[in-house]
Amino acid sequence: MTGTPVWSVDPRTGKQREQVAAEATAREVDRAVRAAHAARGALADRTTRIAFLRAAADLLDGSAARVVETADAETALGPGRLTGELARTTYQLRAVADAVADGAYLDVRIDRADPALTPPRPELRRYKVPLGVVAVYAASNFPLAFSVPGGDTASALGAGCPVVVKAHPDHPATSELCASLLRRAAAESGLPADVVSVVHGFDAGLELIRHPLVTAAGFTGSIRGGRALFDAAAARPVPIPFHGELGSLNPVVVTPAAAAERAEEIGAGLAGSVTLGVGQFCVKPGLVLVPEGADGDRLTGALTKALGESGPGVLLDHRMRENFITGVGERAVLPGVGAPVRPGSGGAHTVGAGYLTIAARGLLDGPRTYGALLEECFGPVTVVVRYADQGEAADVLDLLPGNLTATLQLSAAECAGPDPTGAAELIGQVTRLAGRVVVNGWPTGVAVAPAQHHGGPYPAATSHSTSVGGTAIERWLRPVAYQSVPDPLLPPELREANPLGLPRLVTGGPAA
């Protein structure tokens, strides 16, 4: 391999494991994109795509031991979590295959000609076509489900778009392994392997977003990195859609009635959600509104106990560990901020979980002073904001930027009906803030399901799309309408006899 080496690193020791690739030069990025573009015609056949997605899932499942071992060695996420994540990833590939087979995603609409209208209406037949080559920017924190074989790749391939993935530097060996399995699945399904490929390197990522043949991008990562790529996508001579998931505080509101009813359960549940995956989830609850008073104290007591008992964890890389320790430190020194369980360094290569506290009144009096508390801090920490009344809680929510999720902990009485508890009002308020609203659960754990929405107002996402669930495929398609096109010349999806048996919305009288 020539070029800047790409190393797989063990975050448990900080040591380089092996060189697995080299950073792609501009010329190599160009070659990957051109090869993907040349392969797009082969992806046009729906049946072949379905077989490919299922073959990819089977190959990944068949290589589970090796995939999990490789991912664990360079992410330290543990075999249990990674086995679950692989199952989620292959479930997702199969779910996209099922969605492609169903065909509703093509949103076929047919309007019969109506000569009686003024002006007369011509026949119109509309469906959606794939955009072309999609750039996928892999996330650090899900080396499978939001990386090379993840939701962006699966949905783009399902839509009929070839994919070039910019691999995340935290798991290059896993990326190479998964890419080789996906490419093998393509070849076994009669497709060119180049329908999916991987490039490494920061500069390669910039080359990719600027390449004229790239038609759209999916991204999961930081606000800074995501915004830079979003800006580059918008500044192109031909701008392209950039579907980025950037950052989220994922607020939680615990009502006084809920705290009275379930203080200990909520405190323990919160600790579990904050420490899941060593706090490296996009949907980690980062700001929790807890009422002042004895019930709230019981809740924070349970949180203190659970977090105090949690062992140290290994973050994905040493830069993240440093950022976490710095970020916690910057927040902990702010006036009025307490640290009942001080998160921070837990050893040479580990961190300890914890939480910070502040009074809502203080936050509201100095929102600029406390700006950092309103920003995501990646890792096992959350900020507990103690509020005096519902007005204060609402005012704190008003300070927040957009979020992937918002969670409410409610009492049984509040769940039973909207009046006069104000719970429905709270639902309305957090709906304005987030893409998913959770009641009496925790936001961590994003189910792969048709009705899922994983997105939200900026900076949670740069578009109004979702990167998880049944509608993720919509990101990679554009509509085309055919006016008065003779039946034999129509794509099979739109022909009168409906040879592919697609669901469709027909308007107007019987066919002429």
Q: 125 to 184, contacts with a copy of itself by CB under 8 A?
A: 125-126, 129, 131
What is the smallest separation between the CB atom of 227 and a copy of itself, expressed in angstroms?
9
Q: Does 485 bind a copy of itself (CB under 8 A)?
A: yes
Other CB atoms within a 10 A radius of the CB of residue 244 amount to 29
Options 15, 447, 496, 509; binder of a copy of itself; rule CB under 8 A = 447
What is the smallest separation between the CB atom of 98 and a copy of itself, expressed in angstroms?
11
Give the x-and-dash track for 328-367 against a copy of itself (CB under 8 A).
----------------------------------------
State which of positions 211-250 bind a copy of itself (CB under 8 A): 230-231, 234-235, 238-239, 241
Q: Does 64 bind a copy of itself (CB under 8 A)?
A: no
- Looking at the Cβ atoms of 17 and 495, the one nearer to a copy of itself is 495
Options 436, 467, 473, 493; binder of a copy of itself; rule CB under 8 A = 436
* Contact present, 24 and 32 (Cβ < 8 Å): yes
Q: Does 435 bind a copy of itself (CB under 8 A)?
A: yes
- Looking at the Cβ atoms of 238 and 348, the one nearer to a copy of itself is 238
Distance separating alpha carbons of residues 200 and 218, to the nearest angstrom: 16
What is the smallest separation between the CB atom of 76 and a copy of itself, expressed in angstroms?
21
CA atoms within 13 A on the CB side of 317: 15
DSSP string covering 423-477, please?
A: HHHHHHHHHTTEEEEEESS-S------TT-----TTTTBSSS--SSSTTGGGGGE
Question: Interface with a copy of itself by CB under 8 A: which range of 162-170, 296-304, 355-363, 474-482?
Answer: 474-482
What is the smallest separation between the CB atom of 256 and a copy of itself, expressed in angstroms?
17
- Looking at the Cβ atoms of 213 and 332, the one nearer to a copy of itself is 213
Distance separating alpha carbons of residues 162 and 208, to the nearest angstrom: 13
DSSP 8-state assignment for residue 511: -
Options 14, 80, 122, 308; binder of a copy of itself; rule CB under 8 A = 122
Q: Does 451 bind a copy of itself (CB under 8 A)?
A: yes
Distance separating alpha carbons of residues 362 and 324, to the nearest angstrom: 24
Distance separating alpha carbons of residues 363 and 356, to the nearest angstrom: 13
Q: Does 464 bind a copy of itself (CB under 8 A)?
A: yes
State which of positions 71-90 bind a copy of itself (CB under 8 A): 84, 87
What is the smallest separation between the CB atom of 138 and a copy of itself, expressed in angstroms?
22
Distance separating alpha carbons of residues 286 and 302, to the nearest angstrom: 17
Q: What backbone phi and psi angles, to 5 degrees, belong to 404?
A: -70, -40
* Contact present, 429 and 397 (Cβ < 8 Å): yes
Question: Interface with a copy of itself by CB under 8 A: which range of 57-65, 179-187, 381-389, 455-463?
Answer: 455-463
Q: Does 424 bind a copy of itself (CB under 8 A)?
A: yes
Question: Interface with a copy of itself by CB under 8 A: which range of 106-114, 160-168, 267-275, 330-338?
Answer: 106-114
CA terminus-to-terminus distance, the chain: 63
What is the smallest separation between the CB atom of 26 and a copy of itself, expressed in angstroms?
23
If you search the block for the tokens 């002006």, which residue do you land on? 119
Question: Interface with a copy of itself by CB under 8 A: which range of 17-25, 326-334, 383-391, 429-437?
Answer: 429-437
* Contact present, 209 and 184 (Cβ < 8 Å): no
- Give the burial class of 183: count Cβ atoms within 10 A of its Cβ; 0-12 exposed, 13-18 middle, 19 or more buried: buried
What is the smallest separation between the CB atom of 282 and a copy of itself, expressed in angstroms?
15
* Contact present, 49 and 93 (Cβ < 8 Å): no
Number of residues that bind a copy of itself (CB under 8 A): 77
Active site residues: 245, 282
What is the smallest separation between the CB atom of 338 and a copy of itself, expressed in angstroms?
31
Q: Does 511 bind a copy of itself (CB under 8 A)?
A: no
What is the smallest separation between the CB atom of 230 and a copy of itself, expressed in angstroms?
7
* Contact present, 227 and 383 (Cβ < 8 Å): no
Question: Interface with a copy of itself by CB under 8 A: which range of 17-25, 138-146, 305-313, 432-440?
Answer: 432-440
- Looking at the Cβ atoms of 99 and 191, the one nearer to a copy of itself is 99
Options 457, 495, 498, 500; binder of a copy of itself; rule CB under 8 A = 457
State which of positions 384-403 bind a copy of itself (CB under 8 A): 401-402
Q: What backbone phi and psi angles, to 5 degrees, belong to 273?
A: -70, -40
SS (H, E, C) 315-383: CCCHHHHHHHHHHHHHHHCCCCCEEEECCEECCCCCEECEEEEEEHHHHHHCCCCCHHHHCCCCCCEEE
Distance separating alpha carbons of residues 471 and 141, to the nearest angstrom: 23
Distances, alpha carbon 499 to alpha carbons 382, 487, 492, in Å:
55, 12, 7
- Looking at the Cβ atoms of 86 and 315, the one nearer to a copy of itself is 86
